[in-house]
């Protein structure tokens, strides 16, 4: 009996094993299949992105050009055409008839800027159409200092060339201010170009009168007559740490200003003063301006001491 039970148990066990061998494998559900595809795709894209980043160069930063509002660099901070010297001619007496300065049109569309007697500067104010270049000319002598500045209601820039074609400033520099010493006798051509909009421009041109000391002297007196509401500009060389003293006489209606060429303002005309005394920060040319605020011409003595 026991033998039959053992045989029967062995047969049942054999049938179970055989049935397991022929059972089909479990089928993946739709959700399982999508999950595997998504994982594979994600792994592939991640690897591709990694390889692409390894083969592509990093993006380069684009340099931002300076804005038009920056103050542009000057040709020289220190004078090169006029060396410092203690020997020079005596200061001339300026005798003038107060007539206004003029800007007159010439053939070829050039506007001539002329300083009236007793004046050393002129201001042009006009409207220039969009995308237009207007040319002005000013006559200078060799070694004479000239300062030029432009302000406008919309974007406008200057270019400057000499009579012989030497380029001092071009439009690509986007400058609105410049000073330098004339290297030759002749005209400086100042071109003003507007952008996509018309511009109301103010062009200021200054050529100061140079004054210098006689040999062995540290004081001079400059005599000048300046028309009503005009400014007479002087320029004088001085060394670093020297003390400069300036006195106007008479003082009625006159205002004084002093600044280092291309640099620090030592006395602003807004202070309304008629005298100045101060230690100089650098060697170089200093511009001394006398403005007549009266409605009549004014004759004055400017006493300058530097030591």
With a cut of 50, list the residues of the chain below it in pLDDT: 2, 16-101
Q: What tens digit of pLDDT does each residue of 174-198 get?
A: 999 999 999 989 999 999 999 999 9
Do 121-206 and 209-306 show the same overall fold? yes
In the chain, which residue ranges form alpha helices assigned H by DSSP? 2-22, 30-55
Q: Map residue 111 onto helix, strand or coil.
A: strand
Q: Contact 246/275 with Cβ under 8 angstroms?
A: yes
Q: What tens digit of pLDDT does each residue of 216-253 get?
A: 899 999 999 999 999 999 999 999 999 999 999 999 99
Q: Contact 145/181 with Cβ under 8 angstroms?
A: yes
Percentages of the chain per state (helix, strand, coil), in multiples of 5: 20, 40, 40
Residue 5: the pLDDT is: 55
| Per-domain boundaries in the chain | 121-206, 209-306
DSSP 246-292: EEEES-TTEEEEEEETTS-EEE-GGG--SEEEEE-SSSEEEEEEEEE
Q: Contact 287/258 with Cβ under 8 angstroms?
A: yes
> Given this structure, which CATH class describes domain 209-306?
mainly beta
CATH of domain 121-206: 2.60.120.380
Q: Contact 252/301 with Cβ under 8 angstroms?
A: no
Pairing between strand 254-260 and 145-152?
unpaired
Residues facing residue 128 across a β-bridge:
199
Residue 60: the pLDDT is: 39
DSSP 133-148: EEEEEEEE-TT-EEEE
Residue 1: the pLDDT is: 54
What are the Cα distances from residue 307, in Å, to 86, 173, 218, 265, 283? 11, 39, 6, 20, 13
Residue 262: the pLDDT is: 86
């Amino acid at each position: 009996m026991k033998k039959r039970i053992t045989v029967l148990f062995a047969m049942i066990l054999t049938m179970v094993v055989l049935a397991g061998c022929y059972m089909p494998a479990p089928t993946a559900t739709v959700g399982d299949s999508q999950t595997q595809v998504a994982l594979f795709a994600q792994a592939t894209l991640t690897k591709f992105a990694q390889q692409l980043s390894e083969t592509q160069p990093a993006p380069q930063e684009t340099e931002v050009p300076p804005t038009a509002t920056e103050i542009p660099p000057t040709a020289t901070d220190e004078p090169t055409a006029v060396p410092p010297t203690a020997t020079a001619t005596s200061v001339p007496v300026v005798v003038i008839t107060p007539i206004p300065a003029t800007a007159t049109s010439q053939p070829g569309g050039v506007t001539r800027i002329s300083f009236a007697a007793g004046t050393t500067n002129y201001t042009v104010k006009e409207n220039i159409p969009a995308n237009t270049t207007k040319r002005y000319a000013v006559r200078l002598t060799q070694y004479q200092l000239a300062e030029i500045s432009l302000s406008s209601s919309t974007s406008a820039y200057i270019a400057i060339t000499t009579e012989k074609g030497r380029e001092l400033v071009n439009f690509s520099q986007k400058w609105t201010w410049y000073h330098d010493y004339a290297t030759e006798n002749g005209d400086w051509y100042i071109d003003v170009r507007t952008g996509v909009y018309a511009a109301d421009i103010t062009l200021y041109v200054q050529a100061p009168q140079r004054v210098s000391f006689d040999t062995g002297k540290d004081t001079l007196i400059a005599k000048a007559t300046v028309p009503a509401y005009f400014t007479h500009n002087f320029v004088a060389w001085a060394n670093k740490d020297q003390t400069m003293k300036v006195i106007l006489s008479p003082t009625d209606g006159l205002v004084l200003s002093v600044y280092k060429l291309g640099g620090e303002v030592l006395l602003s005309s807004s202070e309304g003063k008629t005298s100045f005394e101060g230690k100089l920060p650098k060697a170089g040319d200093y511009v001394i301006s006398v403005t007549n605020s009266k409605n009549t011409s004014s004759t004055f003595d400017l006493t300058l001491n530097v030591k």
